[in-house]
Structure 1
Amino acid sequence: MEKLTQKDVNKLNSARGFKALLSSEQYNLEKALRYVNYERKLKKLQVELIRLQTWAIEQDERIIILFEGRDAAGKGGAIRRITERINPRHMRIVALPKPNEDEKTQWYFQRYVEQFPKAGEMVFFDRSWYNRAVVEPVNGFCTQEEYEVFMNQVNDFERMILESGIRLVKIYMSITKKEQAKRFMDIKNNPLKQWKMTPVDERAQELWDDYTSYKRTMFSKTNTLISPWKVIRANRKTMARVNVINHILKSIPYDKNTPV
């Protein structure tokens, strides 16, 4: 590591700095400094998220931000950092379970539409209708016909969302196969995280190439001019979270002079 500046020393000589230094068994000044810098960036970005939400409430805006990505890619962690400081009365996190028997008989998009935002509300989808583009066909949870119907309808569906005045931001969290394996091992070895591991997760490494194939098809057909995807490299969680928030702030033309 390069020689520490006085500014670096001041950062480490703070509550955040001590927390970062003591978070592992061995002192790692470089890692601790990165964490302090991340915390400072995050705080500034969270202020802007509050400004964005305030503007959305005042203007009766409706905003959907959906997250897709490999299992253990960090979707939930990113959503938590985005939402932890904003007003919970004007936002919702949606992570739908598998459809029940009644929902299976409905139009595929119907249960997602029921979760759409009202005026002044932001809704975060931790996985979305794009389950049918990748997860479902890879794991045999839908038929080939159901998959093809979805792929034929999804662009028109999103066009209708946008034409109705709802703002839509689509984010894909991308990690490597090696990083996914490392995170799965961490989950399995941590009693506080073991509940996160599902049968679908257990097969994710084995089906990696199948996921890749369907993911590429999804991007090629649904990365449209009016509803583009933003791919966030997520091997480093802290950097990914900063990049996600920056993308959201750039994607929605809120009034940056809105008081918070």
Structure 2
Amino acid sequence: MNTDHPDLIHYKKLMHDLQIKLVHLQSHIIRNELQLLIIFEGRDSAGKDGAIKRITEHLSPRDIRVVALNKPTERDKNSWYFQRYTDYLPSRGEMVLFNRSWYNRAGVEPVMGFCTEHEYQRFLHTVPTFEQMLMESGIQIVKYYLDISKPEQHKRLEDRRTNPLKQWKISPIDQLAQDQWDDYSKARDEMLSRTHTDKTPWYIVNANNKKRARLNIIRHLLQVIHVDQTQENNGHTLQQVDSSIVFPFSESHLTDGTLYS
């Protein structure tokens, strides 16, 4: 007997249908030798892990990779900044998901003092060119910024501290996430403003509701890759993305209250 709440049953059914389409998406990528890079950024506890898990959990592990790098080594620090990431870029027929990426230099690093002002400014100046080079080489880049409110982050960080199954997520930086909320907001706004381009746009995800965020990220991903699934849809129609949950960044969002401050 299924004792799940009706809302949870509905969520599981929607997710199941979307994950079937993700299998078709992966087949499309393999068949056409595409290279897909998906970048997930956002505040601590914004839901990046959960979104990535739902995307990858039924896909072929041979043709998809999740990249979540540890702190840089001394060699990394003495190398070209992007060098430590280039080994992880997708090859033909492959999807790669970055759980945080080179955008650490636009968020955590300047806020925590892990890079100099010159390094920070140089990154913001050069990253659009770097991403354009990747696009011109055949790598399609999709960038998501998961945005949550300060009270929601507080609730999720508290859950990490008390839930024994989430202890691995706790880091020293988490402890400062709330104290330095305004600094992270300023860094977020600067990053979005200076690295959002026509070819590699940022998509904002209102992630205060995890389940709605996950469903709409997958719907959006299926749309932006332009997969023709008419032959493989098994009768399932792809629902439209909720534009209040996932939407392209605009400069107006910095002042109109769309982003959590």
TM-score using structure 2 length? 0.87
**Counterpart Cα distance in 2 of 1:150 and 1:199:** 25
Aligned-residue CA RMSD (Å): 1.1
Please say if residues 46 and 82 of structure 1, whose CA atoms lie closer than 8 Å, have aligned partners that are also in contact: yes
CA distance in 1, matches of 2:139, 2:226: 13
Matched, 1:151 2:110: no
SS at match of 1:192: helix
Match for residue 104 of structure 1?
77
CA shift at 1:33, angstroms?
1.6
Which position in structure 2 is the counterpart of 1:192? 165
Q: Does 1:225 align with 2:198?
A: yes
* Contact kept in structure 2, 1:67 and 1:124, CA below 8 Å: yes
Instruction: Give 1:255 deviation, angstroms.
Output: 2.6
- Between structure 1 and structure 2, the one with the greater Rg is 1
- The CA distance in 1 between the partners of 2:6 and 2:213, in whole Å, is 17
Q: Secondary structure at the match of 1:225?
A: coil
Secondary structure of the 1:98 match is coil
Q: Determine helix, strand or coil for the equivalent of 1:53.
A: helix
State the Cα distance separating 1:257 from its structure 2 match. Answer: 3.7
Structure 2 residue 63 is matched with structure 1 residue 90: yes
Aligned amino acid, residue 79 of structure 1: I
3-state DSSP class of the match of 1:199? coil
| Residue matched to 2:224 | 251
Distance 2:209 2:30 in 1: 33
Q: Which runs of 5 or more residues in structure 1 are unaligned?
A: 1-13, 21-31
| Residue 171 (structure 2) pairs with residue 206 (structure 1) | no
Given that 1:61 and 1:120 are in contact with CA atoms closer than 8 Å, whether structure 2 keeps it comes out as yes
For 2:92 and 2:232, the matched residues in 1 are separated by: 20
CA contact (8 A) 1:91 1:123 kept: yes
Shift of 1:259: 4.4
- Length-normalised TM-score, structure 1: 0.87
Equivalent pairs, count: 233
Q: Which of 19, 32, 44 matches 1:71?
A: 44
User: What residue is the counterpart of 1:50 in the other structure?
Assistant: 23
Supply the AA of the counterpart residue of 2:119: E
Q: What letter matches 2:71 in structure 1?
A: K
Please say if residues 54 and 258 of structure 1, whose CA atoms lie closer than 8 Å, have aligned partners that are also in contact. no
Pick the structure with more helix per residue. Answer: 1
Structure 1 runs (4+) deviating above 6 angstroms are none
Counterpart residue number, 1:216: 189
Distance 1:85 1:41 in 2: 15
Corresponding residue number in structure 1 for 2:93: 120
Match for residue 241 of structure 2? none
Provide structure 2 residue ranges, at least 5 long, that are not aligned to the other structure.
Answer: 234-261
Cα-to-partner distance string for 1:115-173 (whole Å, 9 max, x where unaligned)? 00111000000000000001100001101111011011000011101111111000011
Give how far 1:258 is off: 5.5
Name the CA distance, whole Å, in 1 between partners of 2:194 and 2:220: 22
- Separation in 1, partners of 2:135, 2:171: 34
Aligned to 1:64, the other structure's residue is in SS state strand
| Residue number in structure 2 paired with 1:181 | 154
**2:106 equivalent to 1:141:** no
Q: What is the rounded CA distance, in whole Å, between the counterparts of 1:41 and 1:158 in structure 2?
A: 33
